[in-house]
Each structure stands twice: as structure tokens, then as C-alpha cells.
Amino acid sequence: MAPVEPRTVIQGRTAEEIADSIKSAVAQGGMAAGDPLPTIRALAGDLGVNRNTVASAYRQLSDAGVTEGRGRQGSRIALHPGAGTSAAASVRNLSAGNPDPDLLPPLQVKPLGPEWPHRGYEDAPADPQLADLARARFRKDGVPVGHVWIANGTFDAISMILRSVFDGPVKVGVEDPCFMTTLGLLHSLGHAAVPMAVDDNGVTPDGLARALDDGIAAVILTPRAHNPFGGSWSDARRADLADILSRYPDVLLIEDDHFSELSLFAPQTLADEARENWAVIRSVSKYLGPDARLAFVDCSPALGRKVDVLGACTYRWVSGLLQRVVLQTLTSPDYDASVKRVARLYKERREGFLAALKDRGISGHGADGFNVWVPVADEQKTTRHLMEAGWIVNPGATFRLTSPPAIRVTTSALRRDQARELAVLIDEIEHAAPVRRGA
């Protein structure tokens, strides 16, 4: 079989997307040990992106131990010498943060028939039935229902909100570590990210207070299943955060409740009808799949008016066909029971890996969600040795601003025997014992 040309498997518009596509190519055998990467100039031209974007992706891959520099030969895939293509094919990719495909519900794509109401350019973007379903769920969870709209995913919503409220660069409080796409989005919009410390209950009161004192104009918070640390707010934590935030009524509040349907923690929110600008965002991608890129947004009426004004002059359209598929799936007879079963399985897999780490004397963080955050002494060393042994994980540098080194492990499809094997490898690396080769 002829080798795959690397430039044909590398995709993406952001540094994170480009790096993830290369990791996936390695995991699936599309790229193997020693394969060269395109030059920064060439790949930037192929993808139509800035050279700095490709350079940032290559730095992430080098930090993760996926690639290595060969001087004038450029960068190449850095699996252990002798591992070869067969090792690449057996690499376990625990870096992507995806749900387990085997646990996603079947999307209900029913024939639309002649009664399907084709939408015109002048029609409202949201399917009325789907918007009503979203309102009912927000209301049931104790979120004040304001202006409900539908976006093309979480970051489409966050981008629209920030662009609607701010004309120029501002300081935005973000959890540290923080989801990588949040950092990339803020950078692309020209805003400065101000780090806020987190623990197993989410953002800390001190972290929020310090950022507010620093003059942030907006704050992005994760009430449940913080990515990558895993924290979810307790009642006490929510009360402490509410008390602090109430002293800053002009700050824009954005909550990313991305794990909502799958979380076994009670819904929590800081949204307050007295605040002029607030929004709660719930994407469906974690429980219906990343391809169902749709998010429900509940925001204050004042913010809703600003979004509508911006939307009237820009791209503000979510496929009606996709909305109908999501509506049919969420209202299918067995959906509620299925999502509860899946939530328990994700909890078992996450906690199984945490238990395996604990058995080796290693601390990990993952109260909720798909991921476990594992503090390590040297991210590059750990990710490189794990890659040599057939495991791809994310280095913490991808997510961190000022917090200590760590790695992020996605546990959504991690079996118990794999969890034990991985915990042993991490322990061996941390204690400088010889690492077993092969996956």
C-alpha cells in the first residue's frame, strides 16, 4: 500500500484543530514513526491559515512528545525507534475529549414529508418546538428563563455574546486550567484572559475575587464537569461565588454547562434576573455527538436584544434540519433512560481510572465529565514516554495559564484494564523506572 501523504490527513483552522488532526492520524495509522511533517509555510498555504497558527500547533505536538525536530530535516513523528507502523496503528488516543461513539444515541432522522415547513431568509432561526423544549429544561433546572436562542455550538454562542457586548478588547476571567478553545477564541477576538484558580468544586472564590478585582469585564465559568479539571459546584461553592459576583453587577456572566444531560451533579447557576448581561449555554455535542453541533442559549433579555441586532447583520443561521433531528432525538421514547445509563457508565470509567491512579499513590482530579487531570513533574517527559508506549494524552500546557504542570486523560472509552495499565505507566515515568514498550 502506498504511504499516505501527510498533507492530505492534516486539517483544521486553529492550532488545536491542526494538532488534534495529526494526533488522530497517528492513532489511526495514517502517519507513522519517522514520517515528516510539511513545512510551516507549506501547511499554512494548504490550510489557508497564518503561519503562526501552524507553528503553534507544531509546538503543541513537540511538547506532547508526538513529534521531534530533526534539524534541517524538519519535524517528524516521534514514536519509539523500531515501533514502526504497527505500533502507530495500536496507539490509544486519549487526548481528544470525545464521547464514546458506542454510547451515543441513534440520531432520529425521520422522513420530513411534504408537511416540512421550509424556512425562508426572513424566518426566525430557532425551531419553535426545540426552543420551547430548551425553555422547559432551563426552567426545570432553576435557571431564570430570559431570551432563549439556538447557536451552532458553544463557541459560536460565546463569540456572538462577546461581540455583541464589547466593541474592543477587554479582560475576561477564565478558569485555570481552561478549555483550550476558550483561550484560542479570546485570543482571536483580542481579549486578555485573566486566570482564576480551580479545585474539585470548580472555580475558587478567591480566584474569582482576584479576577474581579483585576478589572475583568466578563467571566466564563463552568458549573459542572469543568474541562479539564473536572470540578462541579456544590451548593456551598455556588453560594460563595454568588456573594462575590453580586458586588459586580456590570460584569458579563457566561456559564458553559456543556455536560448538562450527562452530569450526575445537581444543576447550578449564578444567573440572576437583576444582572443586565448573563447567559447559560448548553451544547448537545457531549451526549448527541460532536457532529450535532448545536447549543441552547438562555440569556438576559438585554443581552438577547444585543445578540439579535448583531445577528441581523451577520451570519445567524442554524440548520432547521439539524434542529429537527435534535428535537426528534431528545423526545424519542427511550432517550431519557438511555442518557441516564450512559451517564453512569462515564462515571464508572472516570472513577475507575482515578482509583487506579490512587492505587499507585498518584493524585488525580475528575469529579465529573470525560477527563481526568493528573499533576506530573514534567509534562513533556510524561507525554513523550506515554507516546512511546502507545498512549496519546494531552499535555497540560495546552490548557494552563499559570497553574502547575499536568496531563489530561480522556476516560470516556477507557476500559478498566486499560486504566490500570496506564496508571502503572504514569507511575513508572514519574519515578523514573524503565517504561515498558508497546501498547
SS3 356: helix
Q: Say how far residue 73 (Cα) sits from the centre of its chain.
A: 34
Q: Is residue 256 over pLDDT 90? A: yes
Choose the weakest-confidence range: 256-265, 281-290, 338-347, 428-437: 428-437
| Average pLDDT rounded to a whole number, residues 102-113 | 82
| Average pLDDT rounded to a whole number, residues 159-186 | 93
Global pTM exceeds 0.75: yes
* Contact call for residues 233 and 142 (beta carbons, < 8 A): no
Instruction: Give the start-to-end residue ranges of the domains of the chain.
Output: 1-89, 91-105+334-439, 128-330
Q: Indicate the helix (H) or strand (E) that contains 37.
A: none
* Contact call for residues 194 and 171 (beta carbons, < 8 A): yes
Q: Supply the pLDDT for residue 161.
A: 96
- Domain 1-89 shares a fold with domain 91-105+334-439: no
More confidently predicted of 21 and 185: 185
CATH 3.40.50.2000 fits 91-105+334-439, yes or no: no
Determine the topology of domain 1-89 in CATH. Answer: Arc Repressor Mutant, subunit A (1.10.10)
pLDDT band at 280 (very low <50, low <70, confident <90, very high): very high
Most confident of the ranges 5-19, 123-137, 164-178, 388-402: 164-178
Q: Alpha helix locations (H) across 117-204?
A: 128-140, 154-165, 180-189
Q: Is residue 380 over pLDDT 60? A: yes
Architecture of domain 128-330: 3-Layer(aba) Sandwich (3.40)
pLDDT band at 82 (very low <50, low <70, confident <90, very high): very low
| Average pLDDT rounded to a whole number, residues 317-341 | 92
SS3 102: helix
More confidently predicted of 27 and 287: 287
More confidently predicted of 296 and 318: 296
Q: Is residue 13 over pLDDT 90? A: no
Q: Is residue 321 over pLDDT 50? A: yes
Q: Indicate the helix (H) or strand (E) that contains 363.
A: none
Strand ranges, E, within 265-417: 278-283, 295-299, 371-375, 391-392, 394-395, 406-410
**Alpha-carbon distance 158 to 196, whole Å?**
18
The overall average pLDDT reported for the chain is: 88
Q: Supply the pLDDT for residue 81.
A: 35
Q: Supply the pLDDT for residue 7.
A: 55
Q: Supply the pLDDT for residue 2.
A: 42
Q: Which residues contact 32 (CB under 8 A, 6 or more apart)?
A: 26, 77, 79, 84, 85, 88
